[in-house]
Structure 1
Amino acid sequence: MSIFVEFIALLLLLTLFGSCTTPVYARFVVEKNSISVIAPERLRSKNDGSIGNFGVPNYGGTLMGSLFYSEKGSKGCASFEGDNPFKTRSSRPTILIVDRGDCYFALKVWHAQEAGAAAVLVADNVDEPLITMDSPGENVDSDGYIEKITIPSALITRIFAESLKKALQNGDEVIIKLDWTESMPHPDDRVEYELWTNSNDECGVRCDEQMNFVKNFKGHAQILEKGGYTLFTPRYITWYCPEAFILSSQCKSQCINHGRYCAPDPEQDFSKGYDGKDVVFENLRQLCVHRVANESNRSWVWWDFVTDFHVRCSMKNKRYSQECAEDVMKSLDLPIEKINKCMGDPEADVENVVLKTEQDLQVGRGSRGDVTILPTLVINNVQYRGKLERTAVLKAICAGFKEATESAVCLSGDIETNECLERNGGCWQDPQFNISACKDTFRGRMCECPVVNGVQYHGDGFTSCAAVGPGRCALNNGGCWSDSKSGNTFSACSDSDLTGCRCPSGFHGDGQTCEDIDECKERLACQCDGCSCTNLWGGYECKCNANHIYIREHDTCIAKNTSSFAWFVSMFVLAAVVGTGLAGYIFYKYRLRSYMDSEIMAIMSQFIGITRKES
């Protein structure tokens, strides 16, 4: 076993050097969240905390609580005594501060969670740049507490911690706000993320955690990818064998392509079971499954292949083989020949294009750190910190969307609280028509005037929203006045006026309220001699004295009955006018037709004469 340990140690030393010819120095990036001191006033400030690599960081959200620290059990290495050990002045959640040292970070956080803390700040005991708190190896977690941690935690500097503890000792109430809203970049409406993984299933708790995550997260991943919300890429870590050891039995059993790409022995024993090169070859196959599936716009099939392979081709069942992998590919209608071509020849003394790309990407560049831990998620070029679990990871991915562009998956009840359900989020609403300006997003609510049935509402979203544009009158009358009486309905909304409200004819007001105009009282109608005026809602009615009729257009009355002679004269004149018009029309029609016929005959005779001469 000592040979194996020495060989693995050598591989680990070379993990992040990219290639034998171009060494690159390893660099680990500490992912951080913001910690603001809200009270007391003299300590108001904003500081960094390094996010723990366990538990569930509240990506995209915030947490405000009262700080608690006790000299007794300050390191949190033992369970806290009592039913309510953290007594603060307010009803806010408790954020516990504990000192570093004497036990694992994760154990401190577990004890704090068991006692009711909502979050934990671990105070560093030396002056140094912030580091990432990682979970201990599986051999020290006999109770399985690491997987049970669900609260966030962060490491803070010694100087910052001392200022907080001093304020608590002076009797001040210290209110802290933990903010993860900017811990995950969210530049646009698509999240790009990678899972650095391994096909080996004989590595204990970490392998089990990884495969359980893939199985449980598969549904969310495929929905997000099919909808175009995310771009997912699987990644696989490989090592290389130093040139001096390429011909050794250890390198030959653990590497392919003449020592260029290696993996540790799955059983940690060179003399039995599978070899590291078996793992490298299967890693390569899974990379090519994704590449080939992506060419046919089926990139999400990778999740199906990996989960099926784990069940059907497990190392534990001695089924980890090329034959078993090809059976899985057939069942998923994957082109085996294309995938084999993508994989290339593992015995060739040349670079493998696929694995060389993976090896280069293990090295961090820019703001991104090196990949040193398996499994690791990288979301929007930032390494995810926290438990590799369905809900926790989905929360982190959802925090990577630009606000209000996330998928409906991100608004499910198990990871997000709908703030519009309480008091409509403080936004404008029209309860009569169930219209609201409150829009729930992953980071909280937005007050934004809605679009209803294609009609846009405009306003500040908080106190007012009004429909604008065509069709607005069909929705709550466009926010304008409307009323009905005696079977008549009038409205101040008009589709010809795309924005405003204007009282209709017969009413006056600002369009929000309209009142009937009394045309009779204001002498706006029926001013002719002998007229009588009656006001109506939205109009008026004029009547003339007996034997007269009212002509509204001229506001006048004319006699209804005249003498028989006058009627005779009128009818004679009318008949004469009609007869004259008719006669003129007939004369014009037939005279014109006769003229046209003569002209046509003249032309035809000339034409016939010409043709005869020519013949």
Structure 2
Amino acid sequence: MSPSNKETVLTLFLALTMVVNVVSTRFFVEKSSVTVLNSWEMKAKHDAAIANFGIPSHGGFMIGSAVYAGQGAYGCDPLNETFKPKSPYPTILIIDRGVCNYALKIWNGQQAGAAAVLLADDIVEPLIAMDSPEESQHEDPDLIEKIKIPSALILHSFGGSLKKALNKGEEIVLKIDWSETIPNPDERVEYELWANTNDECGVHCNEQMSFIKNFKGTAQILEKGGHALFTPHYISWFCPQELRRSRQCKSQCINQGRYCAPDPELDYEDGYNGKDVVYENLRQLCVHKVAKEKNSSWVWWDYVTDFNIRCSMKEKKYSKECAQTVVESLGLSLEKIKKCIGDTDADVENEVLKAEQAFQLGQEKRGVVTIFPTLIINNSQYRGKLERTSVLKAICSGYKEGTEPLICLSTDIETDECLVANGGCWQDKISNITACKDTFRGRVCECPVVNGVQYKGDGYTSCKPYGPARCSMNEGGCWSETRNGLTFSACLNSETSGCRCPLGFHGDGLKCEDIDECKEKSACQCDDCKCKNNWGGYECKCSNNSLYMKEQDTCIERISRSRSRWFFIIVVMTAIAGISLSSYIFYKYHIQAYMDSEIVSVMSQYIPLDSQNLHQDSNQIGNCNLL
């Protein structure tokens, strides 16, 4: 084999080493679940592979109306149609896989108004992770940074079922659930970042360093408070035994070909080489180990940030001497770090890097680390944009409910999704009541409790007040109207739900119209009656000045006022005369009795009589007087 062929074989080997590891170890694709909410045929949960870019709602979910971009609309070019929501739900756009890279499809879907994109696989195969493309695959280097919506890959069979139903004109409501992507077993989150110290590897290196700089303060708050345990890791490869003495292995590996990294500039003759990268990777692992022994593991974030600024490979300052200056400036023991690094030229295993390679091959629940950089939270691979806010939300979703630290509850990470189109939730614009509730896990459409009144409904299309006091809240959502000082409502406080038009109106309670009782001939049916319809009622009048009796629906003759007046006077005068006569008779009888008793008293003084005669005589006298 010629030297040039050997170099080609070695280069390919180093590039494909991880692929070999993947084949020998099970690879886990991080998944979300997709459920069709309004179809019994497809209602079971379906797996979807989460993209490694965009912003999935870790710990939350999204409900949306599915829309198919159309046959042949692969999303590689700007979509002609703008997919604005045709229902209360946001739009989940389905695009066929193929022709161009994933990110370009998602970007065009986002530009067309989609809230999320599902890529339907074009072949029958297991789910695979949707990774971000290399810079060379698209002319816009900032494409990944522009993608703000979540996306996932679905199986060919499931995609076919969805497209078939949508082509028939059926409405499909989907629920994409990310709540199980990151487990939340306790009050502490364990997370790790698989990185590399090479800052000349293009978009991936830029993404990694930007994240470390922006997330440093947040990470240190979590660690200092004991809320999180962070561990850095570094990817490495190895040379086969028969090639360890080759020039390529010697320039890209340490410890006699056991731990290797690709040449940063892919130029084995000039500039930095893979060996320099592996050595710095090892140093940063030792920085974390030594700092952890001092109970200040968060110093790793300071070292990596400072090293990238002060010892940049782009500025030709990437060296051991520069690194040592950073170590000393942070107050770490240089001797302990050197001891941790060991002899990188010796033909022996390095205990630190040996453990890293073993851990890199994966665990039963996590799988092999193949994507750089990779963030793992609670032993689950994070999928989505590697930026501060998205990662913090994902970490916060890893806490057991109700145990989140204050940094998770601050407005610093809340984007308030309710501000845009009310988050797709129900809203009463008249009373400014909404079912949208924004949390760090994402917005939730949940019917609220207002002034002690519970609203009930799905939170997306409807919420109605329930209970005895419901009429105090916008008339319980029922019809109400006021005219000429009169107010009628279809809400009854005696009923806990429902609307019913009041007497004199008809309708469904949400809209009530006046009943014309006169036109319907349901009132004023007597012969002499004349009917006049009023709003909410009616009025009956009788001819010939008669009086209308509503209960009997009849007219009776009125008594004239003059006859009534004379009758009243006669009755009063008769009563007065009767009372006067009775008083006169009573008075005369009382005077006569008094005079008789006085006469008897006088006579008894001058003419003594025995009691019997006197009694007889008095009777006689009384009788004479009566005569």
TM-score normalised by the shorter chain: which range applies?
Answer: 0.5 to 0.7
Residue identity opposite 1:140 in structure 2: Q
Change (3 A) 1:197 1:5: farther
Aligned match for 1:255, one of 244, 248, 253? 253
In the alignment, is the contact (CA less than 8 A) between 1:68 and 1:88 conserved in 2?
Answer: no
Matched, 1:140 2:143: no
Deviates more, 1:63-72 or 1:299-308: 63-72
Cα deviation for residue 89 of structure 1 reads: 3.3
Relative to structure 1, is the Cα distance of residues 2 and 226 closer, same or farther in structure 2, using a 3 angstrom cutoff? farther
In structure 1, the partner of 2:533 is: none
Name 2:38's counterpart in structure 1: 39
**In structure 2, distance between residues paired with 1:350 and 1:155:** 44
TM-score normalised by structure 1 residue count: 0.66
Q: Aligned partners of 1:446 and 1:300: how far apart in 2?
A: 38
Relative to structure 1, the CA distance from residue 5 to residue 396 in structure 2 (aligned partners, 3 Å threshold; closer, same or farther) is: farther
**Counterpart for residue 205 of structure 2:** 207
Other-structure match for 2:264: 266
The residue number in structure 2 matching 1:127 is 124
Q: What's the CA shift for 1:218?
A: 0.6
What value does the CA root-mean-square deviation take over the aligned residues?
Answer: 2.8
> Structure 1 residues 150 and 4, CA, compared in 2 at 3 Å: closer, same or farther?
farther
The residue number in structure 2 matching 1:80 is 79
One-letter identity of the residue aligned with 2:266: Q
Partner of residue 325 from structure 1, selected from 323, 335, 358: 323
Letter aligned with residue 125 of structure 1:
D
Summarize the alignment of residues 350-361 of structure 1 with structure 2, pairs less than 5 Å apart.
350-361=348-359
Residues 16, 109 of structure 1: CA spacing in aligned structure 2 closer, same or farther, 3 A cutoff? closer
Alignment match of 2:215 (pick from 210, 214, 217): 217
Q: 1:417 to 1:138 in 2, by over 3 A?
A: closer
Change beyond 3 A, Cα 1:138–1:26: farther
Matched position secondary structure for 2:321: helix
Q: Partners of 1:105 and 1:397 in 2: how far apart?
A: 26
Q: Does the aligned pair in 2 maintain the 1:376–1:384 contact within 8 Å?
A: yes
TM-score for the superposition, normalised by structure 2: 0.65
How far residue 418 of structure 1 moved from its aligned partner, in angstroms, is 7.3
Change beyond 3 A, Cα 1:443–1:68: closer
- Summarize the Cα distance change of 1:330–1:150 in structure 2 as closer, same or farther, 3 Å threshold: same
- Look up the match of 2:186: 188
Change (3 A) 1:195 1:94: same
Does the C-alpha gap of structure 1 residues 11 and 70 become closer, same or farther in structure 2, counting only changes over 3 Å?
A: closer
Shift of residue 378, structure 1, vs aligned partner: 1.1
State the alpha-carbon separation in 2 of the partners of residues 439 and 260 from structure 1. 50
Question: Once the 2 structures are TM-superposed, how far is the Cα of residue 169 of structure 1 from its aligned partner?
Answer: 1.8
Q: Distance in 1 between matches of 2:10 and 2:305?
A: 31
CA distance in structure 2 between the aligned counterparts of 1:442 and 1:58, rounded to whole angstroms? 7
The separation in 2 between residues aligned to 1:94 and 1:413, in whole angstroms, is 27
What is the distance in 1 between the residues matched to 2:285 and 2:259? Answer: 14
- Give the aligned residue type for 1:133: M
Contact residue 134 and residue 203 of structure 2 kept, 8 A: no
Number of aligned residue pairs: give it. Answer: 431
Q: CA deviation at 1:15?
A: 3.1
Query: For 1:216-247, what per-residue CA distance to the aligned partner results, in whole angstroms no more than 9, with x for missing partners?
Result: 11111111111111100000111111110111
Q: Give the match's secondary structure for 2:18.
A: coil
Equivalent residue, structure 2, for 1:103 = 100
Deviation at 1:52, TM superposition (A): 0.9
SS at match of 2:153: strand
Match of residue 51 from structure 1? 50
Distance 1:122 1:414 in 2: 32
Deviation of residue 260 (structure 1)?
0.8
**How far apart in 2 are the matches of 1:182 and 1:31?**
10
| Residue number in structure 1 paired with 2:114 | 117
After superposition, the Cα gap between the structure-2 partners of 1:337 and 1:380, relative to the gap in structure 1 and judged at 3 Å, is: same
Q: Which amino acid aligns with 1:9?
A: L
Give the direction of change, closer, same or farther, for the CA distance of 1:400–1:34 in structure 2 (3 Å limit). Answer: same
- The answer for unaligned runs of 5 or more in structure 2 is 426-436, 447-451, 455-627
Q: Cα offset for 1:151?
A: 0.5
CA distance in 2, matches of 1:228, 1:265: 38
Q: How far has the Cα of 1:412 moved from its partner?
A: 3.2
Correspondence for 1:242 among 229, 240, 265: 240
**1:509-548 paired onto structure 2 within 5 Å:** none
1:468-487 to 2 correspondences below 5 Å? none
- 2:345: which partner in 1? 347
| Equivalence map 1:141-160=2 (5 Å) | 141-143=138-140, 144-160=142-158
Q: Distance in 2 between matches of 1:179 and 1:15?
A: 31
Partner residue of 1:9? 12
**Alpha-carbon distance in structure 2 between the residues aligned to 1:111 and 1:358:** 39
Kept in 2: contact 1:262–1:277 (CA 8 A)? yes
Q: Would you say 1:197 and 2:195 are equivalent positions? A: yes
CA contact (8 A) 1:406 1:441 kept: no
> How far, CA to CA, are the matches of 1:146 and 1:440 in structure 2?
25
Once the two structures are TM-superposed, the CA of residue 74 in structure 1 deviates from its matched residue by 2.5
**Paired letter, 1:31:** E
Give the CA deviation at 1:153: 0.5
What is the distance in 1 between the residues matched to 2:78 and 2:48? 24
Give the 3 Å change call, closer, same or farther, for CA 440–202 of structure 1 in structure 2: closer
Displacement of 1:415 = 3.7
- Give the residue type in structure 2 aligned to 1:62: F
Give the aligned residue type for 1:206. Answer: H
Give the superposition deviation at 1:88: 4.9
Q: Which amino acid aligns with 1:69?
A: Y
Q: Which residue of 2 aligns with 1:489?
A: none
Q: 1:16–1:370: 8 Å Cα contact kept in structure 2? A: no
Aligned to 1:259, what secondary structure does the other structure show? coil
Structure 1: distance between partners of 2:353 and 2:95: 44
Shift in Å at residue 16 of structure 1? Answer: 6.7
Aligned equivalent of 1:230, options 228, 231, 240: 228
SS at match of 2:10: helix
Distance of 1:27 and 1:387 partners within structure 2: 24
User: For structure 1, which segment, 52-61 or 295-304, has the greater mean C-alpha deviation from structure 2 after superposition?
Assistant: 52-61
CA contact under 8 A between 2:417 and 2:442: conserved in structure 1?
no
- Residues in 2 aligned to 1:348 and 1:203: alpha-carbon distance in whole angstroms: 28
> Could you tell me how far apart the structure 2 residues matched to 1:377 and 1:158 are?
28
Give the AA of the match of 2:12. A
Q: Residue 14 of structure 1: SS of its match in structure 2?
A: helix
Q: 1:148 & 1:142 partners in 2: Cα distance? A: 14
Output the CA distance in 2 between the equivalents of 1:232 and 1:185: 16
2:122 partner letter: N
The AA in structure 2 aligned to 1:39 is N
Per-residue CA distance 1:341-400 (angstroms, 9 max, x = gap): 111011111110101000111112211110111111111111111221111211211111
| Match for residue 397 of structure 1 among 395, 398, 402 | 395
For 2:453 and 2:161, locate their aligned partners in 1 and report how far apart those are by CA, in whole Å: 40
Q: How far apart are 1:328 and its partner, in Å?
A: 0.6
Q: Answer with 181-190 or 136-145: which moved more.
A: 136-145
Rounded Cα–Cα distance in structure 2 between residues aligned with 1:388 and 1:87: 28
Check if 1:94 corresponds to 2:84. no
Contact 1:404-1:442 within 8 A present in 2 as well: no
Q: Check the 8 A contact 1:38/1:45 in 2, yes or no.
A: no
Cα distance in structure 1, aligned partners of 2:85 and 2:320: 61
Task: Say yes or no: does 1:174 pair with 2:177.
Answer: no
Which AA in structure 1 matches 2:38?
A: A
Please name the residue that 1:550 is paired with. Answer: none
Q: Given the superposition, is the C-alpha separation of residues 5 and 411 from structure 1 closer, same or farther in structure 2, using an over 3 Å criterion?
A: farther
Residues 292-349 of structure 1 show CA distances to partners (whole Å, capped at 9, x for unaligned) of 0000011000000001000000111111111111111111111101111111011111
Corresponding residue SS for 2:45: strand
Indicate the SS of the match to 1:154.
strand
**Secondary structure at the counterpart of residue 74 of structure 2:** coil
Go from structure 1 to structure 2 and tell me whether the alpha carbon gap of 1:166 and 1:3 turns closer, same or farther (over 3 Å shift): same
Amino acid at match of 1:14: T
Give the CA deviation at 1:4: 5.4
Q: Contact conserved, 2:58 with 2:441, CA < 8 A, in 1?
A: no
